[in-house]
Amino acid sequence: MLQITESQVRLGLSATDKAEAIRTAGRAMVDAGLIEPGYIDSMLGREAITSTYLGNGIAIPHGLPQARDLVRRTGVVVVQFPGGVDWGGEPARLVVGIAAKSDEHIAVLQRLTGVLGNPAEAARLGTTTDPRAVMAVLNGDATAPAVDAAAPLAGPSIAVTAPSPHGLHARPATALVEVAKRFRSQIAVRHGGGTSNAKSLVSLLRLGVSGGQPLTITAAGDDAEAALAAIRAAFEAGLDEPTVSETPPPPPPARAAPPTDLDYDGRVIAGISASPGVATGTAWKFQREELTVDETAPDPAVQHRRLDQALAGAAADLRNLHEEFWKKAGAAKAAIFKAHLELLDDPEMAADAHARIDDGKSAGWAWRAVYEERANTLAQLTDALLAGRAADLRDVGRRVLRLLADATESVAALPDHPVILLAEDLEPSDTAKLDPAMVLGLCTAGGGATSHTAIIARSLDIPAVVAAGPSLLDLENGREVIINGDDGVLVAGPSQRDRTRAATARVAVARRREAEHLERYKPAITTDGRRVEVAANLSDPEAAVKAVEAGAEGVGLMRTEFLFLQRDFPPGEEEQLEAYRIMVRAMNGLPIILRTLDIGGDKNVPYLRLPAEENPFLGVRGIRLCFEREDLFRTQLRAMLRASAEGPVRIMYPMIATPAELAKAKAITEEERRALGVAPVEIGIMVEVPSAVMMADRLAQEVSFFSIGTNDLTQYVLAMDRLHPVLAPQADGLHPAVLRMIERTVAGAKAAGVWVGACGGIAGDPAGAVLLAGLGLTELSVAIPSVPSVKARLRGISMAEAERTARDALTCADAAEVRALVRDRFPGGAA
Active-site residue, from 105, 322, 452, 735: 452
Question: Is there a catalytic annotation at residue 812?
Answer: no
Other Cβ atoms less than 10 A from the Cβ of 724: the count is 12
Other Cβ atoms less than 10 A from the Cβ of 815: the count is 25
State how far the Cα of 415 lies from the Cα of 810, in Å rounded to an integer.
53
Question: Helix %, strand %, coil % for the chain, to 5?
Answer: 45, 15, 35
State how far the Cα of 30 lies from the Cα of 417, in Å rounded to an integer.
49
Active-site residue, from 105, 354, 735, 759: 759
Which run of H or of E encompasses 579? helix 573-587
Q: How, if at all, do strands 75-86 and 91-99 pair?
A: antiparallel
Per DSSP, the residues of 365-434 read: HHHHHHHHHHHHHHHT-SSHHHHTHHHHHHHHHHHHHHTT-SEEES-----SS-EEEEES---HHHHHT-
Per DSSP, the residues of 56-118 read: TTEE--B--GGGGGGB-S-EEEEEEEEEEEESSSSEEEEEEEEE-SSSTTHHHHHHHHHHHT-
State how far the Cα of 350 lies from the Cα of 745, in Å rounded to an integer.
52
Question: Is there a catalytic annotation at residue 62?
Answer: yes
Other Cβ atoms less than 10 A from the Cβ of 17: the count is 10
CB–CB of 787/520 below 8 Å?
yes
List the one residue out of 689, 632, 641, 680 whose CA is nearest residue 661. 689
Per DSSP, the residues of 802-829 read: HHHHHHHHTT-SSHHHHHHHHHHH-TTT
CB–CB of 758/708 below 8 Å?
yes
List the one residue out of 570, 469, 564 whose CA is nearest residue 65. 469
Active-site residue, from 105, 169, 191, 340: 169
State how far the Cα of 171 lies from the Cα of 176, in Å rounded to an integer.
9
What torsion do the CA atoms of 322, 327, 329, 331 make, to the nearest 10 degrees?
A: 60
Q: Is residue 362 classed as helix, strand or coil in its secondary structure?
A: coil
List the one residue out of 350, 322, 287, 313 whose CA is nearest residue 429. 322
Phi-psi region of 512 (alpha: psi -120 to 50; beta: other; left: phi over 0): alpha
Handedness of CA 11, 14, 17, 20 (dihedral sign): negative
The CA distances from residue 659 to 321, 480, 708, in Å, are 42, 63, 17
Question: Is there a catalytic annotation at residue 759?
Answer: yes
What torsion do the CA atoms of 344, 348, 353, 358 make, to the nearest 10 degrees?
A: 150
Active-site residue, from 62, 105, 191, 322: 62
List the one residue out of 235, 108, 219, 213 whose CA is nearest residue 155. 219
Which run of H or of E encompasses 279? strand 278-285
| Helix orientation angle between 659-676 and 630-643, rounded to the nearest 10 degrees | 60
The CA distances from residue 301 to 295, 305, 308, 360, 401, in Å, are 16, 6, 11, 10, 18
- Which residues are known catalytic residues? 62, 169, 452, 759
